[in-house]
Amino acid sequence: MFDIKFLGAVQGLGFSALLALGMVAQARAQAYPPYGPDIPVITNTEGASGAYGKDLQKEPAPNPWNHESIWNMRVEGYNDNQARPIYQPLVVNQDGREILYTGNLAGTALNPLTGVSESNGTSIIDVTDVRSPRFLYHIPGPAPIAGSYAAAGAQMVRVCGGNTLPNASTNGTSGHWYLLRAFGNAGADESHQIWDVTNPSAPKFVATIISGLSNTHKSWWECDTGIAYLVAGSAADGWQQSGSKQHLYIYDLSNPAKPTFIRQFGLVGQQPTAPVATAQPCATAPSDTCYEGTTNPPSGLHGPISMGTTVNRIYIPYGVSTDGVIQILDRSKVLNGCLTGGPVGSNPDASAHCANSPTQADLLWPQISWITLNPENGGHSSMPIFNVPIPEEQSNFLDESPQSKSLLFVSSEATANNCYGQAPHDSWILDISSETTPWPIATLNVPQFPGNFCGKGARFGAHAVTEAIYPPYYGKIISVSWFNAGVRIWDIRDPKNPKPVAYYIQAPTANTESSCSTINGVTKCFNATMNDYVEYDDRGYIYAADRAGTGVTILSLTGEARAAILPQSDQ
Amino acid sequence: MNRNWFVNTAAFALSCVAASAAYAGEQVTKSGTASTVGTISNQKLAQVMPGMSTKAQVQALLGTPWRIVQFNDCGEAMDHQSDETWDYRGKDSNGTYRVHIEFDGHDVAHLVAKIPDSVAGDQGTAAKIAPTGSQTAMKM
């Protein structure tokens, strides 16, 4: 099915035609990063004045803390995820079945399917029928160490189809589906694993890619090339970071059973040979031994996004919630930069130890630019959207041809309960049309009033920008998870003037983990949900995953939010 | 795999089964899965002392928790947000509630709260914490 929300627009089509349209839409969805190299084309549906003067509905105030609040969205389905707190949801069209994978934060809960209390790992839920999701399987995470779950959890998940991976016949991946996940978060022996999820009800362990890690985080896996950008770090690798001790380990996972190491990579100042004790900021004292950003050594990496072979760019946020840096890289030069000859991107001056202990010059070879955030904001997400038409620039400017801009959506993560002890954390739109001089053009902000979000408990502020590419939404709307303020969606068709157009705040349930804080000597606990990530599937359903153990809610767009994604003729 | 997680998980499961005998519960279902609601003795709960009670002592008093949560996220959370939390579900004459106990890195309880499901939100529910200045004091 193409999209239930488009049914009204295609009522005249017969069922066969609709089915064919749906198949095309799903095939297209699998062609975009990280599944393929294509990028959707965005058409302008705005008048010359853009968002100016639009008579949009005023955003309604949210309901009281213990009620659901919803605006221009509709709840289509729900699963409680066995009361496990979710970090990241990912929905994959797996041979016609829509499978939701959730990477869960650490802890333990009862798995009713087995009758066993299992360490939180990876949940697998069939959401083909969104109104009746079926929990298929839970792959446990790491066991507690000496009774503590501090090093446990399996927060991150990526899935590739074996038919999409290169050399499928040679490698024997044809017909299979593979799950890449972090196994553990921060401890002494974390790892990244591959599982065969061809039968999502009976996953099979395939391989450990790398173990002995002190940190893992949000990886990226290009399915059409097999290249995986693993976020990892270990005491033994010698790399240096402030905050989270993690950078990139890049592997070729074309054959998931036989991972091939390519190189490690990070920000200038993080390499093992960086002289942290004496290094000066590259911005004010450039040298062969400087560091990029506002802290020395630079903050750890959060999660890379590669836009694949066509765009040939990788976008990396560092810092999460403080001392952030956003980096734009030439993908070919990252992958081949330690080769002195041969493929595109190779570096004739690469050092002998480039793959594991690069010089500053090795790290600079693929770097196109880097943007330093102010110290009170970090780089959590950096998701690009290319060639967004600018409504007011469709005539008169430059050579009078219609103008568009490539944008980078950046967010910083709020980390404090009740806002206490930190600055507000927002999301921003950067114009990256000139890649060497990115420039902010707008802020995506949710005010604490109405809603009293700083008073309702848990975290309030931005977290993550949606990474899934669903063509009808691409360049039209953007979603950002905003913890206790829920899913937040903006109309970005006039990106200099983004307009809030929808939100969803989940009501707490008996499964909602309480959040406690001490302010001015008074400690209180609150029951509030926290939307951790919001993602799309290839039918346009929107998945709001709750960090506080309240499950995953499946949503669709209504009203003005739905109108924003329709062709101009249907608006 | 490089961890003996299966053995440990099985051992934990056995402990859950054993504890369930002492933790008389009923199943309350909401949208598919269940949360266990039991009877928690107020006298035993009062014996859980912030700054003093260990995990082993809490388990001996209250049994195996319904759920354990560890928000060890991006390594950037504020102090104590990533401490391990043990949840118990209970019901008394005022309705259902959760007992929320946070442990510090030394496996000592530093926060204990009995939080009604129906009374919290922007009012919050007061919690007991370890004395200020002790090893387990909250810094937020």
Instruction: Determine whether the interchain pair B84/A516 forms a contact, defined as Cβ–Cβ distance below 8 Å.
Output: no
pLDDT range class, residue A200, cuts 50, 70, 90? very high
Cβ pair A200, A221 in contact under 8 A: no
Residues of B in Cβ contact (< 8 Å) with A123: none
Please state whether beta strands A404-411 and A381-389 pair in parallel, antiparallel, or not at all (unpaired). Answer: antiparallel
pLDDT value, residue B31: 40
Q: What are the residue boundaries of the structural domains of chain B, listed by start? A: 5-129
Sheet strands (E) in A417-538: 427-431, 439-444, 477-481, 487-491, 499-505, 514-519, 522-527, 531-536
* A348 against B76, higher pLDDT: A348
A residues 470-489 closer than 8 Å to B (CB):
none
Q: Quick one: average pLDDT of A95-99?
A: 97
Residue of A nearest to B6 (CA): A143
pLDDT value, residue A225: 98
Asked whether residue A16 is assigned to any structural domain, the reply reads no
Q: Quick one: average pLDDT of B37-61?
A: 93
Average pLDDT, chain B: 72
Instruction: Determine whether the interchain pair B1/A205 forms a contact, defined as Cβ–Cβ distance below 8 Å.
Output: yes
Query: In this structure, what are the phi and psi dihedrals at residue A491, rounded to the nearest 5 degrees?
Result: -80, 120
Provide the token pair at B86. Answer: 């043990």
pLDDT value, residue B81: 64
pLDDT in tens, A371-402: 999 999 999 999 999 999 999 999 999 999 99
For chain B, say whether A192 makes contact (Cβ under 8 Å). no
Residue of B nearest to A422 (CA): B78
B28 three-class SS: strand
Cα dihedral sign, A347-A349-A355-A359: negative
A residues 386-445 closer than 8 Å to B (CB):
413, 415-417, 420-422
Whole-model pTM? 0.91
Q: Quick one: average pLDDT of A419-442?
A: 97
Distance in angstroms (rounded) separating the CA atoms of residues B90 and B100? 11
pLDDT value, residue A522: 92
Cβ burial, residue A507 (10 Å; 0-12/13-18/19+): middle
pLDDT value, residue A150: 85
pLDDT value, residue A54: 81
Asked whether residue A532 is assigned to any structural domain, the reply reads yes
CA distance B5 to chain A (A): 5
Asked whether residue A559 is assigned to any structural domain, the reply reads yes
Instruction: Determine whether the interchain pair A147/B55 forms a contact, defined as Cβ–Cβ distance below 8 Å.
Output: yes
Buried b (16+ CB within 10 A) or exposed e, B96-118: ebbbbbbbbeebbbbbbbbbebe
CA atoms within 13 A on the CB side of A406: 18
Indicate if the pLDDT at residue A329 is higher than 60.
Answer: yes
Provide the token pair at B55. Answer: 């995990």
For chain B, say whether A322 makes contact (Cβ under 8 Å). yes
B99 three-class SS: strand
pLDDT value, residue B80: 63
Which of A100, A523, A552 is the best mutation test for B, with the most CBs of B within 10 A?
A523
Which of A68, A87, A113, A117 is the best mutation test for B, with the most CBs of B within 10 A?
A117
Residue of A nearest to B122 (CA): A456
pLDDT value, residue A20: 40
What is the spatial order of strands in the sheet that A439-444 belongs to? A381-389, A404-411, A427-431, A439-444
Instruction: Determine whether the interchain pair A244/B74 forms a contact, defined as Cβ–Cβ distance below 8 Å.
Output: yes
pLDDT value, residue B25: 35
Among the partner residues A116, A149, A416, nearest to B84 by beta-carbon distance: A149
**What is the number of CB-based contacts under 8 A between chain A and chain B?**
222
Distance in angstroms (rounded) separating the CA atoms of residues B9 and A120? 11
Instruction: Determine whether the interchain pair A142/B5 forms a contact, defined as Cβ–Cβ distance below 8 Å.
Output: yes
Q: How many domains does chain A have?
A: 1
Instruction: Determine whether the interchain pair B127/A140 forms a contact, defined as Cβ–Cβ distance below 8 Å.
Output: no
Considering only A209-218, A287-296, B52-61, B68-77, which range has the smallest mean pLDDT? B68-77
CA distance B116 to chain A (A): 9
Among the partner residues A107, A153, A527, nearest to B115 by beta-carbon distance: A527
* Domain region containing A72: 45-84+385-571
* A474 against B4, higher pLDDT: A474
Distance in angstroms (rounded) separating the CA atoms of residues B129 and B110? 5
Cα dihedral sign, B56-B49-B16-A115: negative
Distance in angstroms (rounded) separating the CA atoms of residues A462 and B104? 27
**Could you tell me what percent of chain A has a pLDDT over 70?**
95
Which of B66, B73, B106, B139 is the best mutation test for A, with the most CBs of A within 10 A?
B73
Cα–Cα separations (whole angstroms), residue A443 to A60, A423, A439: 20, 15, 12
Residues of B in Cβ contact (< 8 Å) with A147: 55, 107
pLDDT value, residue A22: 42
Asked whether residue A342 is assigned to any structural domain, the reply reads no
Provide the token pair at A342. Answer: 């041969």
pLDDT value, residue B111: 96
pLDDT value, residue B2: 41
Selection from A187, A167, A294, A300 nearest residue A241 by Cα: A300
Q: Quick one: average pLDDT of A217-226?
A: 97
pLDDT value, residue A52: 85
DSSP bridge partners of B25: B38
pLDDT value, residue A260: 98
Which residues make Cβ contacts (< 8 Å) with residue A401, sequence separation at least 6? none
Distance in angstroms (rounded) separating the CA atoms of residues A426 and A409? 11
Could you tell me where the DSSP H helices lie in A185-330?
A: 308-311
A residues 2-61 closer than 8 Å to B (CB):
none
Indicate if the pLDDT at residue B11 is higher than 60.
Answer: no
pLDDT value, residue B36: 67
For chain B, say whether A374 makes contact (Cβ under 8 Å). no
Provide the token pair at A318. Answer: 């560092």
Instruction: Determine whether the interchain pair B84/A109 forms a contact, defined as Cβ–Cβ distance below 8 Å.
Output: no
For chain B, say whether A463 makes contact (Cβ under 8 Å). no
pLDDT value, residue A146: 87
Cβ pair A344, A366 in contact under 8 A: no
Q: Quick one: average pLDDT of A285-290?
A: 96
Among the partner residues B33, B76, B128, nearest to A80 by beta-carbon distance: B33
For chain B, say whether A380 makes contact (Cβ under 8 Å). yes
Residues of A in Cβ contact (< 8 Å) with B105: 150
Indicate if the pLDDT at residue B32 is higher than 80.
Answer: no
Cβ burial, residue B53 (10 Å; 0-12/13-18/19+): buried
Distance in angstroms (rounded) separating the CA atoms of residues A547 and A512? 9
Considering only A172-181, A429-438, A467-476, B36-45, which range has the smallest mean pLDDT? B36-45
Query: What ipTM is given for this predicted complex?
Result: 0.91
Distance in angstroms (rounded) separating the CA atoms of residues A227 and A186? 24
Indicate if the pLDDT at residue A547 is higher than 50.
Answer: yes
CA distance B52 to chain A (A): 17
CA distance B36 to chain A (A): 10
Residue of A nearest to B99 (CA): A514
DSSP bridge partners of A122: A103, A139
DSSP result, A366-413: TEEEEEEPPTT--B-EEEEEEEEE-GGGSSSSTTSS--EEEEEEEE--
Residues of B in Cβ contact (< 8 Å) with A65: 120-122
Please state whether beta strands A220-221 and A204-216 pair in parallel, antiparallel, or not at all (unpaired). Answer: unpaired
pLDDT in tens, A150-179: 889 999 999 999 999 999 999 999 999 999
Residues of B in Cβ contact (< 8 Å) with A69: none
Instruction: Determine whether the interchain pair B98/A514 forms a contact, defined as Cβ–Cβ distance below 8 Å.
Output: yes
CB atoms within 10 A of CB B14: 12
Stated length of chain A: 571
Instruction: Determine whether the interchain pair A527/B120 forms a contact, defined as Cβ–Cβ distance below 8 Å.
Output: yes
Indicate if the pLDDT at residue B135 is higher than 70.
Answer: no
pLDDT value, residue B19: 34
Distance in angstroms (rounded) separating the CA atoms of residues A363 and A370? 12
Indicate if the pLDDT at residue A16 is higher than 60.
Answer: no
pLDDT value, residue A57: 82
pLDDT value, residue A179: 98
Instruction: Determine whether the interchain pair A300/B75 forms a contact, defined as Cβ–Cβ distance below 8 Å.
Output: yes
Cβ pair A51, A499 in contact under 8 A: yes
Among the partner residues B13, B33, B100, nearest to A116 by beta-carbon distance: B13
Residue of B nearest to A134 (CA): B32
* Distance of alpha carbon B16 from the chain centroid: 14
Considering only A93-102, A514-523, A535-544, which range has the smallest mean pLDDT? A514-523
pLDDT value, residue A2: 30
Indicate if the pLDDT at residue B137 is higher than 90.
Answer: no
Residues of A in Cβ contact (< 8 Å) with B127: 516, 523-525
Cβ pair A142, A552 in contact under 8 A: no
